[in-house]
Chain A
Amino acid sequence: MKKLICIIFPLITLTFVSCDKVEFPVVFESELDTSLYPGNFLDYEYPEFGDNPNTDKNILIADYTGHKCSFCPPAAAKAEEIKDANPDRVFIAAIHGSAEVGGYGDFQKTDALYARDFTNPIGLEMASTFFQMGIGFFGNPSGNVSRVANEDGKFFFPWSDWGDISSEVLASELNVNIQAKSAYFPETKGVYLHTDTEFLNDMNGTFNIVTYIIEDSYVSPQLYRIEGGLEVTDTFYVHHDIHRGNVFDETWGRLLASEDISAGTRIRNDFSHVLPDDLNPSNMHFLIVVYNRETFEVEQVIKHVMEP
Chain B
Amino acid sequence: MKNLLFCVFTLIVFGAYSQLGKGGNVTGNMETNVQYLNNDSLIGAVAPEQKVVMNSYMNVNYSVGKFRAGARFESYLPSIAGYPNFYTGTGIGYRYAQYAGDRITVTAGNFYEQFGSGLILRSYEERALGLDNAMDGASIKFSPVDGVVLKGVMGKQRVDFIEGNLVNSEGIIRGVDGEINLNSIIPNFDQSDFKITIGGSLVSRYQAASNDTLILPKNVGSYGGRIDMKYKRFYLNGEYIYKENDPTQLNGYIYNPGHGALINFGYSQKGLGILLTAKSLDNILFRSDRTIEGTQAFINYLPATSNNHTYNLAGTLYPYGTNLFGEVAYQLDVLYKIPKKTKLGGRYGTDLHMNVSLTSGYERNTDNADMQKRRISYTAKPFQMTDSVYNFDFNFHVTRKLNKKFKASAHYFHFVYNNNVNPITKLATGYIHSDIGVLDLSYKINKNHTIRTELQGLFTKTDRGNWATLVVEYTISPNWFFTIIDQYNYGHPEEKLQLHYVLGAFGYTYNNSRFMFMYGKQRAGILCVGGVCRPVPATNGLTFTFTQSF
Q: A-side interface residues toward B, CB under 8 Å? A: 3-4, 7-8, 11-12, 14-16, 18-27, 29, 40, 42-43
What residues on B are CB-neighbors of A16 within 8 Å?
202, 221, 223
Question: Would you give the shortest CB distance from A13 to chain B, in whole angstroms?
Answer: 10
Question: Would you give the shortest CB distance from A235 to chain B, in whole angstroms?
Answer: 54
- How many angstroms from the CA of A23 to the CA of B217 in the assembled complex? 10
- Known: A7-B142, A21-B244, A22-B255. Contact between A15 and B202, CB under 8 A? yes
What residues on B are CB-neighbors of A4 within 8 Å?
144-145, 148
Q: Is B372 an interface residue (CB 8 A)?
A: yes
Question: Would you give the shortest CB distance from B209 to chain A, in whole angstroms?
Answer: 9
- How many angstroms from the CA of A24 to the CA of B216 in the assembled complex? 10
Question: Would you give the shortest CB distance from A1 to chain B, in whole angstroms?
Answer: 8
Most chain-A CB neighbours within 10 Å: which of B145, B175, B204, B211? B204
Of the A-B pairs whose beta carbons lie under 8 Å apart in the complex, a sample of 21, sorted by A's number, is A4-B144, A7-B150, A8-B150, A12-B176, A14-B174, A15-B176, A18-B219, A19-B217, A20-B218, A22-B245, A23-B374, A24-B215, A25-B215, A25-B245, A25-B255, A25-B375, A26-B214, A26-B373, A27-B211, A27-B212, A27-B215
- CB–CB A25/B247 < 8 A: yes
- How many angstroms from the CA of A72 to the CA of B461 in the assembled complex? 98
- How many angstroms from the CA of A24 to the CA of B255 in the assembled complex? 9
Q: Is B220 an interface residue (CB 8 A)?
A: yes
- How many angstroms from the CA of A183 to the CA of B423 in the assembled complex? 52
| Binary interface encoding of chain B residues 98-117 relative to chain A, with 1 for a CB under 8 A from any of its CBs, else 0 | 00000000000000000000
Q: Is B152 an interface residue (CB 8 A)?
A: yes
Number of interface residues of B (CB under 8 A): 34
- CB–CB B374/A21 < 8 A: no
- CB–CB B144/A3 < 8 A: yes
Q: B-side interface residues toward A, CB under 8 Å? A: 142, 144-145, 148, 150, 152, 174-176, 178, 202-204, 206, 211-221, 223, 244-245, 247, 255, 372-375
Residue of B nearest to A24 (CB): B373
- How many angstroms from the CA of A273 to the CA of B109 in the assembled complex? 55
Question: Would you give the shortest CB distance from A40 to chain B, in whole angstroms?
Answer: 6
Most chain-B CB neighbours within 10 Å: which of A3, A25, A42? A25
Question: Would you give the shortest CB distance from B493 to chain A, in whole angstroms?
Answer: 49
- How many angstroms from the CA of A37 to the CA of B178 in the assembled complex? 45
- CB–CB B245/A18 < 8 A: no
- How many angstroms from the CA of A19 to the CA of B218 in the assembled complex? 8
Cβ 8 A contact of A18, one of B152, B204, B212, B372: B204
Question: Would you give the shortest CB distance from B149 to chain A, in whole angstroms?
Answer: 11
- Known: A12-B176, A15-B174, A15-B202. Contact between A20 and B374, CB under 8 A? no
Residue of B nearest to A23 (CB): B374
Cβ 8 A contact of A19, one of B145, B221, B255, B372: B221
Residue of A nearest to B209 (CB): A20
Question: Would you give the shortest CB distance from A12 to chain B, in whole angstroms?
Answer: 6
- Known: A4-B145, A25-B375, A26-B375. Contact between A12 and B214, CB under 8 A? no
- How many angstroms from the CA of A169 to the CA of B255 in the assembled complex? 58
What residues on A are CB-neighbors of B203 within 8 Å?
15
What 6 A-B pairs have minimum CB-CB distances, sorted nearest first?
A19-B221, A20-B217, A15-B202, A18-B204, A11-B176, A42-B373
Question: Would you give the shortest CB distance from A10 to chain B, in whole angstroms?
Answer: 10
- CB–CB B216/A22 < 8 A: yes
What residues on B are CB-neighbors of A3 within 8 Å?
144
- How many angstroms from the CA of A19 to the CA of B175 in the assembled complex? 12
Question: Would you give the shortest CB distance from B264 to chain A, in whole angstroms?
Answer: 26
What residues on B are CB-neighbors of A42 within 8 Å?
372-373
Question: Would you give the shortest CB distance from B222 to chain A, in whole angstroms?
Answer: 9
Question: Would you give the shortest CB distance from B342 to chain A, in whole angstroms?
Answer: 54
What residues on A are CB-neighbors of B178 within 8 Å?
8
What residues on A are CB-neighbors of B221 within 8 Å?
15-16, 18-19
- Known: A18-B206, A20-B218, A21-B245. Contact between A11 and B152, CB under 8 A? yes
What residues on B are CB-neighbors of A7 within 8 Å?
142, 144, 150
